[in-house]
A and B are shown apart, each in its own frame.
Chain A
């Protein structure tokens, strides 16, 4: 199969976010502008300069997973397994009824199972190697979410993991689309990250990009003159991607939308004097979708909230779409940055924006007019939404962009 003419559609969503678990809970919160950012509760953050996070507070692993899986899974994997279950249910798929080699799993990960790893490293350091769990051999590992989802659901087709920080969430969806074009009927894709534990926290602080604000409403302010870094969060989204013909053959629900285009580009090395490549990633995604800039109805921004990075993103958007030429939003202002989970969650929001013809707001932000962005702030905006562009950047120079589009029938 050449892949030409194969269209990749999204038939199921599984969402776990700090402001709501489950698609509808998350989407209702986002539309209302309800934030999930607050003081870290999973450990005492008093001794650290950054103290706010987007934590998932309504997820009880025991309610979702069998007892045999609990001792061998990190928090991120538990949330991922539940999200995968929700996505399959939403898609109306019982994987037991589909050929096991016709279903794949491709997720992204930015840090692996930090909390599990912290516990086992502490045991190694304080008590010795005999006290380290046998499950540490994979529970921390970047590919563990893909592996556990695959095992639990008998999805034994093309599988893997993409590690490119926050851009990975889009890169995984693109890789899933490649596998669908090569003939796999269904791929579970997206990402869930969770590393709000002391070890994960100091690792994130090393980026120098964490907000040290104590005010949940003024801590994470992309495109604001007061931007001072981001608030980290946990969660993400898993999506059921299918070949449109595969979805039709099993009489699936009406797809949320189509993965219509994707592009990625690496920034040049620092000090090279060459310009950043985010514009290139966006242009590649539009070209891949066969879309002109005026076809895009909303941009879901990466929204770093680091002034130099906000500048690069604002200039890229203005260059492609013209100054204030397209509505831009960053619902991640309500969740914090979820690393590899962020972009799939944005893709879910974009697909729901297509469904409900509404652009969700960014919260807390007073847009700096110098960025020349039409930022949707304060309240949601009713608007025709047929195509959306999602942008994600990863630490180290990764730039990715993805176009989702309503399925033309």
Chain B
């Protein structure tokens, strides 16, 4: 399994691969505090994103992690909390 922290670069790559990117949104810009809805990602896109993070980082995310993390910053923090706890890093 991946032996590094979950970064914003990981998140952007996973979003692009799993759910695509909205043409009206610059994912390469500063998106850390923009909520996922404004970035064009609905609940199903977040489900797919969560599933890919779990696979890649060898962790299990509670449903609340995905529903409660409204921004990339919040999701990255929540995921890394689980990654560290599970000893993946």
A residues bordering B, Cβ < 8 Å? 66-72, 130-131, 133-135, 137
Contact = CB atoms under 8 A, between A and B. Distances in A.
Nearest to A73: B20
B20 A70 contact: yes
A133 B48 CA distance: 6
A69 B42 CA distance: 12
Contacts of B45: 68, 134
B51 A68 contact: no
A71 B19 CA distance: 6
29 contacts: A66-B20, A66-B23, A67-B16, A67-B21, A68-B19, A68-B21, A68-B22, A68-B40, A68-B45, A69-B20, A70-B20, A71-B18, A71-B20, A71-B48, A72-B19, A72-B20, A72-B44, A130-B51, A130-B54, A130-B55, A131-B55, A133-B48, A134-B44, A134-B45, A134-B47, A134-B48, A135-B44, A135-B48, A137-B44
A67 B48 contact: no
A133 B17 CA distance: 11
Interface in B22-63: 22-23, 40, 44-45, 47-48, 51, 54-55
Nearest to B48: A134
Given A67-B23, A130-B54, 4 more contacts: A68-B20, A71-B19, A72-B19, A135-B44
Contacts of A130: 51, 54-55
A134 B20 contact: no
Indicate the size class of the contact surface on chain B.
10 to 19
A67 B45 CA distance: 13
Nearest to B49: A134
Given A68-B40, A71-B18, A134 B51 contact: yes
A190 B5 CA distance: 50
Max chain B Cβ within 10 angstroms of own Cβ: one of A69, A71, A137: A71
A96 to B, nearest CB: 16
A262 B40 CA distance: 43
Nearest to B19: A71
B44 to A, nearest CB: 5
B28 to A, nearest CB: 13
B45 to A, nearest CB: 8
A313 B11 CA distance: 58
Max chain B Cβ within 10 angstroms of own Cβ: one of A70, A134, A137: A134
